[in-house]
Copies of this chain bind each other. A is one copy, B any other.
Amino acid sequence: MEKKRIVILGGGFGGVYTAMRLEKLLKKLPEWEIVLVNRENYFVYQPMLPEVVGGSLGIFDTVSSLRKLLPKTKIFVREIDQIDTQNKKIILAPQFTHKPYELSYDHLVFTLGTVTDFRGMTGIHEHALPFKNLADALRIRNHMIDAIDAAAIETDPEMKKRLMTFVVGGGGFSGTEVVAEMNDFARLLIKKTPSLKKEDLRVVLIHSKDRLMDRELSPSLGEYAGKILQKRGVEIRFGEHLASATPQEAILKSGERIPSKTIVSSVPSSPNPLIEGLDLPQERGRVKSDLTFQVEGSDHLWALGDCASTPHPSGEGVCPPTAQFAMRAGKVAADNIVAAIQDKPKKKFGFKGMGMLGALGHRCAVAELFGKIKFSGILAWFFWRAVYWTKLPGADRKCKVAFSWLLDTIFPAEAVQLKIAPTSGIAPLHFEPGEIIFNEGDIGDYLYIIVNGTVDVLKGADQKVAELTKGKYFGEMALLNQRTRSATVKAQTPVDLLALRKNDFGLLIANFQELRQTIEATEAERSK
């Protein structure tokens, strides 16, 4: 017998805490199963990510295996292609094959979080590094090491300064935390590089308001944070915006240009594009849910965390996009899902927030509790570590992080870099005779160019409609028309191919006039 299914979309704080609570509650309801869909197979402990940039935590210290955290939940590690609320199913992107995967649900929980979206922000989109997830933290760290390594042997003094200038846009929580870690890390790197002088280092934070973390902290603490960073050598440009970026420089709204090879942007995150197209009540791209986390007007859809717009229990505004709210919301949502299944009354969310904590690197932090108690400095920093450490999931994770912190105190972070060769945009492939390259009905994800050999194009039940050889390409029709494959392609001889990803092909064809013309001509011919 097929089980009834609760599907949770997203493995951040909201999703993981919903699933954890459901695992407990569903012991009594064995006919139900929990499925959690997430792009990665791990949960990232976001509040500690800035420490990965600075290196006081190792890469894997901030992540926990989802399967280990949630032993009774089925974990689907996949990209979500489409959410079909009409037919109550989720379409997952293929991996290792070209076939999409369908997943039906009885209850659906939206905990998709937000995404970084620089589209439409000229220059930022192309040249600014985002800071949102683990890969971003690692990329910023690697990029800083590259820049300092290059500066160490640069002979042009102007270029040397450019390489030693680091610009961060946005002085909210994450921007402030990351600039603090970057500043500490850059100074550590320079100290270890004899050919560089610390006078040449510039770390610039650009913030639109007149004090840091203006939305999150009270004025006095925000001002304190700014002073601490300035004392440590960070230049802060208040009342400014990062307007654009090029490979050479950051461009501010006032027109000022800061020569730099490293530009980080921590702009507010955008709603998840998966939600945009859904026929659900929304507010600025977020799904509207009530205080029970039920989506307005539905009895089996739930939304919480950063992707939801839920009223604040105090009656004013909405729940803020923070870990402390998402964790508690997850528990309440799980209780209410089970209440809905059992036809029992649901309970309302009542958490009003504990306060805010922000790390400023170098054993310093700011803290504000219950809107009243404020403190800062090394005491706040110890408090910061203690609070977040206590909340780390699992004894082994706690132990590993404690060891990392201990080791970091004894031995300063090493500036080693994980270099992963850039994947080529064009992948070479080899097929043996009789192997299928793709099937009719598969998702169209690549354009293929034949380097050597012959392929058969088949329709329906193995009816051969064409044969293609060296120098020809195929697979463009599904890409141009956003459709699935209209034919099966099979290797007749051993075949060597080049595969060009759909996105890359799309960029080329949209902008390369000559190429578009020849491909359109071929397609017209083939569609006849």
Contacts from A to B (Cβ < 8 Å): 39-42, 58-60, 63-65, 67-68, 71, 74-78, 95-97, 101, 122-123, 125-127, 134-135, 138-139, 145-147, 149-150, 152-153, 159, 163, 192-195, 244-249, 251, 261, 396, 399-400, 403, 407, 410-411, 414-432, 435, 449-451, 471-473, 494, 496, 498, 500-501, 503-504, 507-508, 511-515, 518-519, 522
Contacts and interface: CB of A to CB of B under 8 A. Distances in A.
A519 B512 CA distance: 11
Nearest to A422: B423
B426 A423 contact: no
Central interface residue in A146, A244, A251, A411, by most chain B CB within 10 Å: A411
Contacts of A507: 424, 426, 428, 498
Given A41-B417, A149-B41, A430 B246 contact: yes
A396 B417 contact: no
Give the copy number.
Answer: 2
B416 A147 contact: no
Contacts of A58: 58-60
Contacts of A41: 145, 149, 415-417
Nearest to A124: B430
B512 A471 contact: yes
Given A135-B421, A426-B504, 8 more contacts: A41-B145, A58-B58, A58-B59, A244-B432, A245-B430, A247-B435, A422-B423, A449-B512
Contact of A64 (B59, B195, B416, B431): B416
Contacts of A193: 67
A475 to B, nearest CB: 13
A494 B513 CA distance: 20
Given A430-B127, A435-B246, A59 B418 contact: yes
Given A416-B64, A518-B518, A428 B396 contact: no
Contacts of A77: 146, 149-150
Contacts of A419: 39-40, 134-135
Contacts of A134: 418-419
9 contacts: A40-B419, A41-B149, A42-B417, A68-B192, A96-B261, A122-B430, A125-B430, A247-B431, A426-B504
